[in-house]
A and B are shown apart, each in its own frame.
Chain A
Amino acid sequence: MYSNKVIDHYENPRNVGALDRSDPRVGTGMVGAPECGDVMKLQIKVNEETGVIEDAKFKTFGCGSAIASSSLATEWVKGKTIDEALAIRNVDIVNELSLPPVKIHCSVLAEDAIKAAIDDYRKKNHGAGGSAGRS
């Protein structure tokens, strides 16, 4: 039922935890709803100098595929610039984790969580940090 990669992320989730919401370098995205059975909270910490996401944390309420999708998302955004992180698509997550069709919404939620975290960071920093660190 689950791919080995989903099981691995479920059993050994990467980057579980929380970053300080009040830190201006931190962007927080929370998507989904408890009534729908999925809530993802994804946080990023951006280096103001380089615009690179230095740290990412998540917590997820949801099925194993939702946990794996968000765990993978934190792994992928780390070390990327904001623009690079924005380029992550849910299909990339589907392919990496071999998600079946009924679990595609988990990957969509993970993509939304990345965008929501970046959005929050940008609002805090008046739109700064977009492509700042790109070379």
Chain B
Amino acid sequence: MKKPIYMDYHATTPVDPRVLEAMLPYFGVKFGNAASRNHSFGWEAEQAVEKARKQIADLIGATPKEIVFTSGATESDNLAIKGVVEMYAERGNHIVTVATEHKAVLDTCKKLRKHGCDVTFLAPHKDGLIDLDELRAAITEKTLLVSVMYANNEIGVIQPIREIGRIARERGGLFHTDATQAVGKVPIRVDDDNIDLMSISAHKMYGPKGIGALYVRRKNPRVQLTAQMDGGGHERGMRSGTLNVPGIVGLGEACAICQTEMAGESVRLAALRDRLKDRLLAGLDEVYINGSMEHRLAGNLNMSFAYVEGESLLMGISDIAVSSGSACTSATLEPSYVLRALGVGDALAHTSIRFGLGRFNTEEEVDYVAARVIEVVRKLRELSPLYEMAKEGVDLSQVGWNKE
């Protein structure tokens, strides 16, 4: 078993060797610009781009012309939301989204709010799922766009996308979903799922960083966007800039691999994830799972280990790469806003860890991780005044803490 063990696949994934192999020629002999119409170098590059466009479209049940290449999901989110708001400004100015969205959506909406948009941020239930009645009630005749992520990056919770899309459509709004964590992990059909715009990232699905795509529906309805990047008019005018041909080839190949392996992979990952969960629950008391287990990505596990601060736990398992929902690992001192939105108290949010399992994790690694986490949590609880008080029967919520 090689260490450190990587179990943070929601942050990023390694490039699959098969993807890398497909990409390599496009850094070398096949270096052409896909927009060069007058020679074979350009044609070769264009052919590769169109093949990738089809591979991506096939994975999500779209047509190749509906795929717009971007630098990644953050850009796709920006283009979808700002592009719709700008394009349809005369029809309305309202966006409905959710408090647990990625910052690429939340901060884009917050910026638009400064420029006169109304934004409704729905609060999810305790399990992370949104309330469809609340969604229905939030949509007004001014609503241009509903933006709800497919699967959450921290808690892995999968929203009822098909119903959300239906509701948005019924009420005359467009539906955008940030599917960064979902594409290649769960079966997506943009028509059945009532999706009008969808953000895609390569590096979460064993492709390279710096490349992504935006699905833009062309029929029923035809969605138009105001470009956010002006220039040579690439990507049917929606996103100018010379195409990142090696990246695009990588994204295409990553999609093709996911299409054939997704079904088996998700069964394998769910089994590994459940093995990890069961071992942790059996080995420790006062461990809590954040978010719905039923509607969840196969590789995701988000747990709070009460009375043990997340960063101190990460420090104890330094040969394992996982992510903490607690303050100190990130730049801010606030605990995860996603867990907060679920109603997880700050005290418990500080003790949460996100495990992200993926393609290259093994059962041996899961067993090692479970054993190490149990060992370190036990050690840190011996060090924790909160654990001591809880064991003495003190109700920690009734203690007069000095919160500065």
Q: Which residues of A contact B (CB under 8 A)?
A: 2, 7, 10, 13, 16, 18, 30-41, 59-64, 66-67, 102-103
Contacts and interface: CB of A to CB of B under 8 A. Distances in A.
Given A18-B388, A63-B309, A37 B327 contact: yes
B309 A33 contact: no
A10 B401 contact: no
Interface residues of B, number: 29
Given A61-B307, A63-B328, A102-B328, A34 B312 contact: no
Interface in B339-355: 345-347, 350
B384 A61 contact: yes
Q: Which of A34, A59, A102 has the most CB of B within 10 A?
A: A34
B312 A16 contact: no
Q: Does more than half of chain B's interface fall in helix, strand or loop, or is it mixed?
A: loop
Interface of B: 307-309, 311-312, 315-316, 326-328, 331, 333, 335, 345-347, 350, 382-388, 396, 401-404
Q: Which of A18, A37, A41 has the most CB of B within 10 A?
A: A37
Q: Does more than half of chain A's interface fall in helix, strand or loop, or is it mixed?
A: mixed
Contacts of B346: 34-37
Contact of A61 (B385, B402, B403): B385
10 contacts: A10-B315, A18-B388, A34-B346, A35-B401, A36-B346, A37-B346, A41-B385, A63-B309, A63-B326, A63-B328
Contacts of A61: 307-309, 383-387
B312 A10 contact: yes
A22 B293 CA distance: 46
Given A35-B346, A59-B383, A64 B402 contact: no
Nearest to B403: A33
B384 A59 contact: yes
B125 to A, nearest CB: 22
B311 A35 contact: no
A62 B346 CA distance: 13
Contact of B383 (A7, A16, A37, A102): A16
Given A13-B383, A16-B382, A59-B388, A37 B350 contact: yes
Given A10-B312, A61-B309, A39 B385 contact: yes
A59 B379 CA distance: 12
